[in-house]
Chains A and B, each alone.
Chain A
Amino acid sequence: MAKIIREHIHTLLEKGMRQDKRGLLEFRKDISVEYGISPKSAEGSARVRIGETEVVAGIKMAIAEPYPDQKDRGTIMVGVELSPFANNSFESGPPSTESIELARVVDRGIRESGAMDFRKLCIKEGEKVWQVFIDIYPINDAGNLRDASSLAALAALKDAKFPEYDKKTFEIDYKKLTSKNISLEDEPIEVTVIKIKDDYLVDPSVEEEEWLDARLTVAFLKDGDICAMQKGGNGMLSTEDINKMIDIAQDKVIVLRKAL
């Protein structure tokens, strides 16, 4: 932990500035979404870039038996791999707590929002349902993997097509994709707002993330309803903080939605 960097961030913030000259509530300019980056292998895939930060996500589908308590519903599973590939300080090995948290927040945004109708993933009630795997791989971490990951997951879902399968054996032919999309009732998008001392910032750099006091990730639906939230960091937030951070996030979600 380098104090010099924290002090520098603080000194600049007092003057309303950031280390890369951006405004406090300014996203990096170059935000892009590219669909179908793994068309041969995945049922859906996408690449998201926010500045130099890059994340790829892909969809794989399988047919499985439903959970006993949800006989007419398919399932989703979200995974994120934070490996040294994208950032030297990430550890190799089994998923870190941080990567699980990241995955679970993305998962909740999609699952709890009603953005996906899980009944539409049912093939035969009580017997066969679709399982949708959403896997997210950061390629380059230049800050704000959270927002980039959630956007990549959504974009990959939008890109996905059901594969053909044998109606009797339920065996999937991954080589043949149908024209049928996974129907999305809505499009949940996350925006993370961080708090450093008394200031709120969006789209944090790696250094800002290291020195944040608290962060709040908010997932929004198209109509502005909130569908998932996660407070992070060791600091504390007042109700006023939370309201302000939600307002900022809602204002910024437009920037990301435009890129889709």
Chain B
Amino acid sequence: MTTNKRTDGRNFDELRKMEAKVGVVSSANGSAMFKIGNTTAIAVVRGPKKLHPKFLQNPETGRLRCFYNMVSFSGSGDRVRPGPSRRTKEINLVMENALAPAIDLSRFPGSSVDVFVNLIQTDAGTRCAAITAAAMALADAGFEMRDLVTAVAAGLVEDQVLVDLNYDEDSHEMGVDIPIAMMPNEDKITLLQLDGRVKKEKLNEAIELARSACKKIYKVQRAALVERYE
């Protein structure tokens, strides 16, 4: 990375081309598609329904559950074996933690609200795209939310801070990947992971870059929700 631009010609703070659509699955209460570059996520909301087995129920509120799924032909290498891997289970959890602060399920005690996200094609940033799509689908389903949730990966490649990493940048041997989710109006972070080696100052720089990127993604999310009903 010796030039001022990235391998795909983007500026360091530039996002890939985005596309969002709400209400894409008619059999679901809420659904949304979010595409960023070559990463495509479709999210569907099912529920609230009674949660089984009973010991999983919370008598005070509903439980948000996320089911992230890379379809088997969506990987950039070999076929992805169907069924949940350790990676998938962790992503399900961090997605739930990223979305839970925004959504109020206290009116649905003992229930579960399930968000299924299928990744149709992937080019890095899949958990962030999944969260961004899931937030739109939950809003489309009519749940009460303090805010939307918007996510993007910031990162470093050879000490250069950049945002919305593609696969080449993400898999760069000196690369650092920092997926971040934010509630844009609250201006609070709900997902933060880091994978790589980084100095504290650079981390703050990366978070700032993610913050302004999230604002741009939020505009796309918001427009898609409004467009559905105009």
Contacts and interface: CB of A to CB of B under 8 A. Distances in A.
B5 interface: no
Contact of A38 (B24, B27, B40): B40
Contacts of A56: 71, 120
Interface in B21-68: 24-28, 38, 40, 42, 44, 46, 67
B72 A60 contact: yes
A3 B27 CA distance: 22
A200 interface: no
Interface of A: 37-43, 45, 52, 54, 56, 58-60, 62, 79, 81, 83-88, 92, 94-95, 133, 135, 137, 139-142, 174-175
A86 B27 contact: yes
B73 A92 contact: no
B118 interface: yes
B123 A40 contact: yes
Given A41-B123, A84-B116, A174-B78, 4 more contacts: A81-B82, A86-B44, A92-B67, A140-B24
The 10 closest A-B pairs by CB, nearest first: A58-B73, A60-B79, A38-B121, A40-B38, A42-B73, A41-B121, A85-B116, A135-B72, A140-B25, A52-B26
Nearest to A83: B116
Given A85-B118, A137-B118, A139-B42, A41 B79 contact: no
B215 to A, nearest CB: 27
A45 B74 CA distance: 10
Contacts of A39: 38, 121
Nearest to B26: A52
30 contacts: A38-B73, A38-B74, A38-B120, A39-B121, A40-B123, A41-B74, A41-B76, A41-B121, A41-B122, A42-B121, A45-B73, A52-B27, A54-B25, A56-B71, A58-B71, A60-B72, A60-B79, A81-B71, A81-B82, A85-B118, A86-B44, A87-B27, A88-B27, A95-B82, A135-B72, A135-B73, A137-B71, A137-B118, A139-B24, A140-B24
B147 interface: no
Interface in B206-224: none
A81 B116 CA distance: 13
Interface in B77-121: 77-79, 82-83, 114, 116, 118, 120-121
B83 A94 contact: yes
Interface residues of B, number: 30
Nearest to A206: B27
Nearest to A85: B116
A52 B118 CA distance: 18
Interface in B184-199: none
Contacts of B38: 39-41
Nearest to A45: B73
A156 B31 CA distance: 25
A52 B27 CA distance: 9
Nearest to A131: B79
Interface string B114-146: 101010111100000000000000000000000
A104 to B, nearest CB: 16
A43 B159 CA distance: 34
A42 B118 CA distance: 15
Contacts of B40: 38
A45 B38 CA distance: 14
